[in-house]
Structure 1
Amino acid sequence: MAENEWMRLTAAELNARAKAGAMVIVPVASLEQHGPHLATGVDILCATGVAARVAAILGEEAVVTPCIWTGLAEHHMAFGGTVTLDYAAFFGVIRGVVRSAARAGFTRVMLLNGHGGNAEAVAVAGSELSIELGIPVAAGTYWHIIGDAFAPVLETQGNVMHACEAETSMVMALAPGCVRPEMLPEAHGPMTTRVEGQPANLYRRKSFAAITPSGVVGDARTASAEKGEKLLAIAAEKIAAMLRNPLLW
């Protein structure tokens, strides 16, 4: 199996991958509260886990950088245990990583986001960097990219929410030590962050403390490692197929 992690490759090996036309996948995440039952690194684990599985499918066509581990998480700050940046700092980190990849000779970059609070900002960053650097920079949040593909696996929801059945299942598969099973009975909350009458595409970011006392959106009580493995495999297959589409680039 081809080595895909940037940090495990030598400079000469990375130069060869760039010359061969490999793409760079940059996982982007957040360090924030995930309810009473999950460690704060959920988005880092999931974004990195999906990216690694995508790269395993793509082989030498892809290189994965270490995860950008902090993002826009102001809406979780009231719970504690959260690190956040402002947009300028967040964009600056992404810009530095992508610009470095471009200077190393890579000509295709995918910003693979794993935190809902980053979604709009990552999309804007991808567009701005495409213009600035003159290379295609794709950007998307993994569960948005795959549409409704998770729905057949999940019992209580159709897609990823927050510290929910989906995220908890994936963490059970990726890093079971980051789950507190004894707290699962408390790991549930409202099934949406939107108020009645608020359209899906109307953005009004509120503190999660005003939405869910538990810090959870969704219901993690039906989570399992088996579901998590299925979700990770689905995401990897769908995203790898998308990235192999030459029309995207």
Structure 2
Amino acid sequence: MYMVNYTSDDFKSNLSKSQVVIIPIGSVEAHGHHLPLGTDVFSPRLFCELLEKKIGGEIWIAPEVPYGQSFDLSVYPGTIHVPSQVLAEYLFYVAKSMADNGIKKVIFLNGHGGNINALNLTSERLMTLGIDVTIINWWLDFSKEILTVTEGQGHAGEDETSAILYYDEKLVQMDKAMKNTKRPTFRVYFKDRGKVIYENALSGDATLATREKGEKIFKLLVDKIIQVVHAMKDEKYYTEE
């Protein structure tokens, strides 16, 4: 149920259908020379479209948040960077207002790694208000499943490029796809990190991407996301041995 398609009255009358909302979050950021700036927006958007088709009556779908924390890639043209503390504050009040409207179970569907710190901070604050929150970092949480389809992963790499080829292959310039094998040896912050580690604004091997791989990724992962939705709905937050 796309929230923005409902009138205020219709939202109120349909509120009893679901206590769960999914909030897609992305970034406007350089993704190599071959992918659009909206890559991290488009993947969550497509997941939401698939969710609407499969379980649309079971979940509210909020408008996407397009901007994110993109400090590392801000050295490349077109990247819009919002500091983590600002993003965290904004997302907190978005989710709090959802709860004020009666939707007290929130799924943040994240398309961008730079947003993780902000999402963690936001979730910790929200749970103290009695709001149930989970974060899905789709490329990270379902890495095992993705690697049954692709040989590797990376920023604008094989998995992301395949995803956008499936979303809209007209947006992808595969003749500009490149490969960057650099990997940080550990979590370290240093000057010009973005230029050095994410040379040409990518990591991994984008040349291996195909539309078919992207289709397999989305079909595989949307079912995993549905499992999370159902777990939130039923409050199955843990298991006991």
TM-score of the superposition, structure 1-length normalised? 0.87
What's the CA shift for 1:164?
0.6
Match of 2:141 among 140, 145, 148: 145
2:225 and 2:75 map into 1 onto residues whose CA distance is 34
Match of 1:112 among 109, 112, 115: 109
Q: What do the CA deviations read for 1:5-61 (whole angstroms, capped 9, x no partner)?
A: 221222223223322333100011111000010111000001221233234332211
Q: Alignment RMSD, CA only?
A: 1.8
1:216 and 1:88 map into 2 onto residues whose CA distance is 25
Does 1:125 find its partner at 2:111?
no
1:15 and 1:248 map into 2 onto residues whose CA distance is 27
For the residue of structure 2 that corresponds to 1:35, the secondary structure is coil
2:33–2:201 CA contact under 8 A, matched in 1: yes
1:226–1:137 CA distance, 2 compared to 1 (3 A): same
1:53–1:205 CA distance, 2 compared to 1 (3 A): farther
1:111–1:126 CA contact under 8 A, matched in 2: no
Provide the residue aligned with 1:136 in structure 2. 132
Equivalent AA in structure 2 for residue 136 of structure 1: D
**Identity among equivalent pairs (%):** 25
Provide the residue aligned with 1:248 in structure 2. 237
Does 1:47 find its partner at 2:44?
yes
Provide the residue aligned with 2:169 in structure 1. 176
What's the CA shift for 1:205?
4.0
Does 1:189 find its partner at 2:189?
no
What's the CA shift for 1:191?
5.2
Match of 2:28 among 26, 31, 36: 31
What's the CA shift for 1:147?
4.1
Give the gaps of 5 or more residues in structure 2.
none
For the residue of structure 1 that corresponds to 2:107, the secondary structure is strand
2:15–2:102 CA contact under 8 A, matched in 1: yes
May I ask how many residue pairs the two structures share in their alignment? Answer: 233
TM-score of the superposition, structure 2-length normalised? 0.89
1:29–1:69 CA contact under 8 A, matched in 2: yes
**1:210-249 equivalence runs, <5 A:** 210-245=196-231, 246=234, 247-248=236-237
For the residue of structure 2 that corresponds to 1:149, the secondary structure is helix
